[in-house]
Amino acid sequence: MSSDVMTRVVMEGQGTFVRVRRPAYWLYVGLLAFGLLYIGDRLSGAFGHLAGALWVPIVLNGLLAALFIWILGRMDLFEREPAAVRAAALLWGALVATSFAIIANNAMVSLITKLYGVNFATKWGAALAGPINEEWLKTLGVVCIVLIVREHFQRSMDGLIYGAFVGLGFQVVENLTYAINNAVSNPNSDLAGSVSVTLLRILIAGPWSHPVYSGVAGLGIAFAVTQTGRTRAMRYGVAAACFLAAWALHFLWNSPLPAWLPKGLAFFAVYGKGALILVFFFILYGISARREWHWFTEIMHDEPESVITPAELESMRTLRTRRLARKKAAKDYGLYGKRIMTRLQRAQVVLGEAKARCKRADGDLASAPDVLLARANIVGIREELNAPGKKRIGLKTRKQEGEDVGEPPAR
């Protein structure tokens, strides 16, 4: 029997992340189930005894997660990654990477202790085990998502965002396990142990922890899979370099301060390490964001001024320039104008995405329904903005505007 006879072809419609025909999807589901059981087993026992001491860490880590989700949602200026895929990345970090990292880290620290003694393991155990195992496992989360939904990776920035979500999930669960461990090991009180370590981890390591490292590694993975016009050596070289950079950043953070450093300088040294990590990350982000901008100008350059004017195109460059454009609209047209400008900017991003999708599918830009719809939407919004009398509305106070909306028309 030839292999052709065995081949079946099906037409299927699926959601943004569920791909029941892809083996990697089932691998993801299986690993997630394992992680859920493993982490659930570790946390549920502790919750039974320490529930009173854990609500503060849970709330604080929830706030940390919400803040990061808000920031990450704004970092990709020209595309909003699907919520389902972001959630999948977060869950990989929270359940899969953490559970395998706990097993690997414990064994590795035990091995280091056996081979090099307690003092060396105390000093370097976390600096070695953390980056080696954790960065590897988190980066595989991005690889897994690529294997499941490659279509959601258009440019390097997508990998950075998904990587950061993997890192965020990891950081939150890691913080909770630290809270539990310290609640148990504190000699005086569960609450003192869990809260003190949570505050320490959020205030000192919060801004430059796992989301940053994994974002860097994820950027490399996305570069490798999206920059198909470049040589393989270049693509995989960048991916490897980004992974090594993520490893090095993590190692830098976990490594002990030199013994000769005066105690008074330790605080500055710790924050100095953090600042270095953040600077590196933002340089990479800046490069990536610039490439995103070039992509956007390229895909929108042939649009007429009724869709996007040169000034509007320039104003789409950064969050700051977009905010300035909205402020200007507010100045010219009042709050109404600001709202319309916000809608216009969103609609222009949607058009860019629709055109990119159409190009990838070798479709006809002149007849693709979603491109036509996005374009018509922009024209409609612009007509609203330029409609006669808007200046007059713009001069009204918010209260007057509200009254206009709230009152029924006079008969």
Enumerate binding residues for another protein (CB under 8 A): 6-16, 21-24, 26-27, 31, 45-46, 49, 96, 100-101, 103-104, 107-108, 110-111, 113-115, 117-119, 121-122, 132-133, 136-137, 140, 143-144, 147, 151, 182, 184-189, 192-193, 195-197, 200
Q: Which is nearer to another protein, 15 or 402 (CB)?
A: 15
Q: At what angle do helices 319-360 and 369-386 cross, to 10 degrees?
A: 150
Shortest distance, CB of residue 17 to another protein, whole angstroms? Answer: 11
The token pair that represents 205 in the structure block: 């390591």
Q: Which is nearer to another protein, 96 or 284 (CB)?
A: 96
Shortest distance, CB of residue 273 to another protein, whole angstroms? Answer: 19
* Nearest in space to 120 (alpha carbons), one of 256, 284, 291, 311: 256
Shortest distance, CB of residue 199 to another protein, whole angstroms? Answer: 8
Dist CA 118 CA 279 (whole Å): 34
Dist CA 316 CA 297 (whole Å): 9
* Nearest in space to 78 (alpha carbons), one of 361, 268, 289: 289
Contact in structure between 354 and 370 (CB atoms under 8 Å):
yes
Contact in structure between 210 and 171 (CB atoms under 8 Å):
yes
Shortest distance, CB of residue 375 to another protein, whole angstroms? Answer: 22
* Nearest in space to 125 (alpha carbons), one of 134, 116, 112, 114: 112
Contact in structure between 141 and 192 (CB atoms under 8 Å):
no
Contact in structure between 181 and 104 (CB atoms under 8 Å):
no
Shortest distance, CB of residue 121 to another protein, whole angstroms? Answer: 8
Q: Which is nearer to another protein, 91 or 341 (CB)?
A: 91
Q: Which is nearer to another protein, 84 or 278 (CB)?
A: 84
Q: Which is nearer to another protein, 103 or 311 (CB)?
A: 103
Q: Which is nearer to another protein, 113 or 255 (CB)?
A: 113
Q: What is the 3-state secondary structure (H, E, C) of 65-121?
A: HHHHHHHHHHHCCCCCCCHHHHHHHHHHHHHHHHHHHHHHHHHHHHHHHHHHCHHHH
Q: Which is nearer to another protein, 35 or 334 (CB)?
A: 35
Shortest distance, CB of residue 104 to another protein, whole angstroms? Answer: 4
Q: Which is nearer to another protein, 113 or 321 (CB)?
A: 113
Q: Which is nearer to another protein, 54 or 378 (CB)?
A: 54
Shortest distance, CB of residue 304 to another protein, whole angstroms? Answer: 30
Q: Write the DSSP string, 170-187.
A: HHHHHHHHHHHHHHHH-S
Shortest distance, CB of residue 117 to another protein, whole angstroms? Answer: 8
Shortest distance, CB of residue 200 to another protein, whole angstroms? Answer: 5
Q: How many CB atoms lie within 10 A of CB 301?
A: 10
Write out the H or E segment, with its range, that includes residue 364.
none
